[in-house]
């Protein structure tokens, strides 16, 4: 409570001066952003509420294989979380919800809801149709996979490494690079060494986000993404921009991206990338 009083006072100072309050809800245990939204609403500030992942579903999926007490706790957390998001979208002047699943879940409660995605690429950064055709004309030989994001337990990177190891044991030449940093790095390094994959699976660290990163991504053959629970990474759209097929476990957002990218004949970026899908069921 002592720490809460301190950051609430700082929050009040900033919100009082703000012309627009732009906030969301990520963690019930650290609700700084949400408290800022509530404060902005009470002070009659214009408000924008952003929800970019189905955290309620994510918590339930993360606890699915845990003990009963943990599953019950996750269910309670999710119910409270959903109630707070509904409260927020009812009051926000604008609610930005990432993907059709969140629109279905919260859109009917909202005063003004708009669906968003996480695409922020200039036309110069997006692969051309000609280069995309070359990208999809896969040749036999080494398959280079990449991940680009935070190294977190829920991202399922240990599963990706197991998958690469399994594929290599079947005689397929595959390499896997991980771009990013995070608390799982040491565990992943140990797993890579134990599997004898030191020269085949590489932790490359972070690179500045921008054109050069997308150029780096375009040198790979596919994006590998095996999360343990619901997630909505920007990485998927970076892969689109670089022309990378997606090899992924079947979470709801991946299924949504596949549905929305299928054969509508559109010339939009989403329509253009309808050819980039592999269907991959991962049980590792």
Specify whether the CB–CB gap between 242 and 214 falls below 8 A.
yes
pLDDT, tens only, 128-165: 888 888 777 766 689 999 999 999 999 999 999 999 99
User: 19-33, 157-171, 219-233, 256-270: lowest mean pLDDT where?
Assistant: 256-270
List the chain domain ranges. 2-116, 123-275
pLDDT, tens only, 27-69: 999 999 999 999 999 999 999 999 999 999 999 999 999 999 9
- Superfamily for 123-275? Glycogen Phosphorylase B; (3.40.50.2000)
pLDDT, tens only, 105-128: 999 999 999 999 977 788 888 988
DSSP codes, 23-78: EE---TTS-HHHHHHHHHHHTT--EEEEE-S-HHHHHHHHTTTS-HHHHHHHHHHH
Specify whether the CB–CB gap between 157 and 178 falls below 8 A.
yes
Task: Please tell me the pTM assigned to this model.
Answer: 0.86
Reading phi first (left if > 0) and then psi (alpha if -120 to 50, else beta), residue 205 is in left
Buried b (16+ CB within 10 A) or exposed e, 40-79: bbeeebebbbbbbbbbbbbbbbbbeeeeeeebeebeebbe
pLDDT, tens only, 78-114: 999 999 999 999 999 999 999 999 999 999 999 999 9
In eight-state DSSP terms, residue 279 is -
């Amino acid at each position: 409570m002592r720490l809460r009083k301190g950051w609430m006072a700082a929050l009040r100072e900033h919100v009082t001066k703000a012309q627009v309050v732009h906030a969301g809800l990520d963690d019930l245990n650290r609700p700084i952003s949400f408290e800022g939204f509530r404060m902005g609403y009470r002070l009659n500030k214009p408000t924008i509420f952003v929800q970019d992942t189905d955290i309620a579903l994510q918590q339930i999926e993360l606890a699915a294989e845990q003990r009963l007490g943990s599953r019950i706790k996750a269910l309670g957390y999710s119910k409270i979380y959903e109630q707070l998001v509904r409260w927020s979208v009812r009051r926000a002047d604008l609610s930005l919800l990432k993907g059709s699943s969140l629109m279905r879940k919260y859109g009917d409660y909202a005063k003004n809801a708009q669906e968003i995605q996480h695409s922020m690429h200039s036309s110069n950064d997006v692969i051309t149709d000609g280069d995309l055709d070359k990208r999809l004309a896969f040749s036999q030989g080494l398959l280079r996979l990449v991940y680009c994001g935070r190294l977190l337990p829920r991202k399922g990177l240990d599963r990706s490494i197991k998958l690469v190891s399994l594929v290599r044991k079947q005689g397929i030449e595959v390499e896997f690079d991980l771009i990013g940093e995070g608390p799982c790095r040491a565990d992943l390094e140990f797993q890579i060494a134990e599997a004898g994959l030191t020269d085949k699976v590489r932790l490359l660290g972070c690179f500045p986000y921008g054109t050069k990163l997308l150029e780096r991504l375009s040198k790979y053959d596919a994006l590998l993404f095996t999360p343990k629970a619901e997630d909505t990474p920007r990485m998927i759209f970076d892969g689109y921009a670089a022309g990378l097929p997606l090899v992924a476990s079947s979470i709801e957002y991946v299924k949504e991206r596949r549905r929305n990218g299928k054969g509508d004949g559109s010339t939009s970026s989403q329509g253009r990338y309808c050819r980039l899908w592999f269907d991959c069921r991962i049980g590792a």
